[in-house]
Amino acid sequence: MEDKPQAAIPREDGFNINKVSENKYLYTFGAAIALLLAIQFVPQVADFWADHFVDPIMADSKGEAGAKYNIYNTIAYGFGFFILFMFIHELLSTWKIELNDRFVFASVPLLILGGVVRVLEDADMFEPPLQYFFISPLVYGALVVYGLFVLAAGVWVSRSSLPPLTKGLGLVSAAILIYGLWWYFAPGEWLHPSSWALLVLCAAALTAEFYRSAPLRDPVLFFGITNILVLVWTYLNLAQNKMENPEMLWATLIFALFSMYLVWLGALGLGITSKITPLYWLLFFGHFIDGSATFLGIDEYGYSEKHVLPDFFIEYFGTAKVMIPLKFLVVTGVIYAIETENSKEEEPEMISLLLMFLLALGLGPGTRDVLRIMFGT
C-alpha cells in the first residue's frame, strides 16, 4: 500500500516549499526579462553582454579567433543547461514518456545530429540570421526544440483515433512537403527534394516492414526512427562537400576504441565489468571520441580549444593528449557518483536524463570535431 501524500505545511513565516517549486519557471522568466531590460537600458551591462556573450558567437560564425568560451558565458550556459534539464524532465513526465536506457539510445542519433549540423554551419550551409541558431551553444537549444517537437508529434499520433494508414500517409506527406518548402525558400545548395522524398519513402517502407504500425503507438520508437532519418539527411547534405582529411575518422576511432579497451581491461582486473551497463560504455565511448578528436585536432591539425577548462589543462601539460585521461576521470567520477547515491533507485528517470545530457556533451562536440577536420571547414 502506498503512503498517502501529505499536503504541504506552510511555515509560520508564510514560506511554502511547494509553492516555490511550482513558480520556479516564473522566477526564471522574470529574471530573463530583467536581464533583457538591463541590456537595453544600462550601458555597462550592454557592453558586458556584447563582450562576453554576443561577440564570441559572432566570431564563431565568421571563423575568427575570438570564438572562445570565457568564464562568464560558461557559468551562464551551465545554469541554462540546468534549467533546460529540469524543464525537459517535467515535460516528458507530463507526456508519460518513460525516461530509461531505451529513450537515451533513441536519442543518440539526435546527439550526433548536433555535431553534423554544426559542420553544416561551418560549411556555410546557413545564412544569417538562421546561421546563429546553429552555433554552440544555441545549436543545442535548437535541437531541444526539434526533439520536443518530434516527441510531441509522436505523443499526438499515438493518442489519435485516426486509422494507422491515414496517420502514416499524413506523416510521409508532411515530411516531404515541409522539406520541399525549406528547399524552395532557403538559400544554399541543399539536397534536392526528390532525393529527400526517396529517403522518406524508403524509411516508411522499412518501418512498415519491420515495425508494422508500432511507431504510431510508441512515441519513443517514433522519436528514434525520425532522428535516424534526419541524421541521414544532414550527412547527405554534408557529403556534397569535398573531404580534405578522411583519415581523421579512422584515427579518432582507433584512439577511442583503444581507450575503451584499456577501460575494459581495468574493469576486468577489478572484477566490475558486470556493473558497467551498456549506457555507461556508450558514455565512455562518446567522451573518448571527443577527447581523441580534440587531441588529434590540436596536436596534429593545428586547431585550437575554445572551452575554458580544457584549454587550461592543455596549456598546463603542453599537449592535448591530456584530454583522453581527463575524459576517463570525468566519466568514471560520474559513474561512481551515480552508483554510490540512492538517487539511482529513487529517481532512475532523472539519472537517465542526466546521462543523456552528459553523453551530448561528449558525442556532439566529438562528432563536430571529427567531421570538421575531415571536410576541412
Q: Nearest Cα to 148, choosing from 179, 200, 110?
A: 110
Average pLDDT, the chain: 84
- Banded model confidence at residue 64, pLDDT cuts 50, 70, 90: low
7-24 pLDDT tens trace: 444 444 443 434 444 556
pLDDT for 193: 94
Query: Residues 255-273: what's their mean pLDDT?
Result: 93
pLDDT for 4: 43
Is pLDDT larger for residue 288 or for residue 36?
Answer: 288
184-225 pLDDT tens trace: 888 778 999 999 999 999 999 999 999 988 999 999 999 999
Q: Nearest Cα to 111, choosing from 371, 356, 375, 369?
A: 356
pLDDT for 240: 86
Q: C-alpha grid cell for residue 128?
A: 544569417
pLDDT for 61: 62
Query: Residues 284-303: what's their mean pLDDT?
Result: 92
Whole-model pTM: value is 0.81
Cα(367)–Cα(123) distance, rounded to whole angstroms? 15
3-state DSSP percent of the chain in helix, strand and coil, to 5: 80, 0, 20
Q: Where are the domains of the chain?
A: 7-94, 98-241, 244-377
pLDDT for 301: 86
Is pLDDT larger for residue 176 or for residue 40?
Answer: 176
pLDDT for 281: 95
Percentage of the chain beyond pLDDT 70 is 89
Query: Residues 265-277: what's their mean pLDDT?
Result: 89
Q: Is the pLDDT of residue 302 over 60?
A: yes
- Dihedral angle of Cα 254, 255, 260, 262, to the nearest 10 degrees: 110
**Picking from 121-130, 192-201, 312-321, 353-362, which range would have the lowest pLDDT averaged per residue?**
121-130
